[in-house]
Structure 1
Amino acid sequence: MMVQIGLIALLVFAYVIVSRILKSSVTLLGQKKFANEVRITYVSKMLNLGFTAILILLICLVLGIGYGQLAIFFSSVFAVVGVALFAQWSILSNITASLIIFFGFPYRVGDWVKVVDKDDEILGQIMEISTFHVIIQRFSGDVVTYPNSLILQKAVVRFESRERAQAMSQYKEPAVPIGESEKQSTSV
């Protein structure tokens, strides 16, 4: 019994140390990638939740709960959660994609990018990378919210500057402001 208590205390101590290291690492990485504080907090909480689940599993094993009992419990929980969230599959895929983008997406807020999409030109500056969307502002001023799960499936071109992105854009800024051309045609 004393051995089990000692192992549980050791696991809790290791959990506290590793979770602090994990949180500081995610914070440093987020600051390096210019992610906003809300996003950094979200990613930290998601990773901490997974780490807590692992801790609970290890404590159950130390206490002598059998693999069969744990397997039945976790399969029941996953079945209920899976059925409950089946209709929300796109939300789950966007959340998962959000974590992948946080750690592996080579573009940052402020970069000029073009998402290669045959149906529409999505070219502009990344304004924000949120939990569900990458928000891109086009040259025309329009704002596009592009789902995280889709941006991982498409090719993305990064431009060094606004001028290079503008050269690749189908959208050309009008020479005369829109309201001015109407005034000229009515005054003639």
Structure 2
Amino acid sequence: MVLQIGLTVLLIIGYVIFSRFLKSSIALLGQKKSINEVRITYVSKMLHLGLTALFVLLICLVLGVGYGQFAIFFSSVFAVVGVALFAQWSILSNVTASLIIFFSFPYRVGDWVKVVDKDDEVLGQIIEISTFHVIIQRLSSDVVTYPNSLILQKAVIRFANKEAAQAMSQFNEKLKTDDS
């Protein structure tokens, strides 16, 4: 009993310390990459939720909840969540892609980019990176909402400025051929 109390106290202390470390690390990384404060808060909350779930799992193990009881509980939860998310698989993949974009996407809000897509030219300035999509304002002032999961699957070209992006626009090339 004393061992369980001691381990529980250690887990609580470790949880509080790691939670603060995680929050400050994400805030520091977000500021270093000049990421919007709302996205920093979102990613921090998502990772904190995962940390809390791990903490609850460890506390239950320390307090003597058996593996069989965990197996029944988690298989039930995963079955319900799996059925619920099967119809919404793209939402789950976009949320996951949002976390990947936060930590390793080489582009920021304000960058001029071209998403290499054979069907349509998506060339413009990134005006927002949200939970589910990247919003790009085209040269023609149209706004394109591009899903996070798709932008990770496509090649993206970054331009130094608006003029460089305009020079690479296929619409400019069409205009040049129409003029001649």
Matched, 1:71 2:71: yes
TM-fit CA distance, 1:116: 0.3
TM-fit CA distance, 1:158: 0.9
Corresponding residue for residue 98 of structure 2: 98
State the Cα deviation string for residues 110-137 of structure 1 (Å, max 9, x = none). Answer: 1111000000000111111001110111
Distance 1:120 1:32 in 2: 33
Corresponding residue for residue 154 of structure 1: 154
State the Cα deviation string for residues 4-52 of structure 1 (Å, max 9, x = none). Answer: 0111011011000100010011111112222211111110010001001
Q: In structure 2, give the amino acid aligned to 1:98.
A: S
What are the within-5 Å matches in structure 2 for residues 44-63 of structure 1? Answer: 44-63=44-63
State the Cα deviation string for residues 48-98 of structure 1 (Å, max 9, x = none). Answer: 010011111111111122222212211111111111222111111111110
Distance 1:125 1:3 in 2: 58
Corresponding residue for residue 17 of structure 1: 17
TM-score (norm 2): 0.92
**RMSD of aligned alpha carbons:** 1.0
Q: In structure 1, give the amino acid aligned to 2:139.
A: F
Secondary structure class of the residue paired with 2:153: coil
Identity of aligned residues (%): 81
Corresponding residue for residue 171 of structure 1: 171
Distance 1:30 1:82 in 2: 31
CA contact (8 A) 1:126 1:137 kept: yes
Distance 1:106 1:61 in 2: 40
Q: Which runs of 5+ in 1 are unaligned?
A: 173-188
Corresponding residue for residue 176 of structure 2: none
TM-fit CA distance, 1:168: 0.2
TM-score (norm 1): 0.88
Distance 1:84 1:128 in 2: 28
Distance 1:127 1:28 in 2: 22
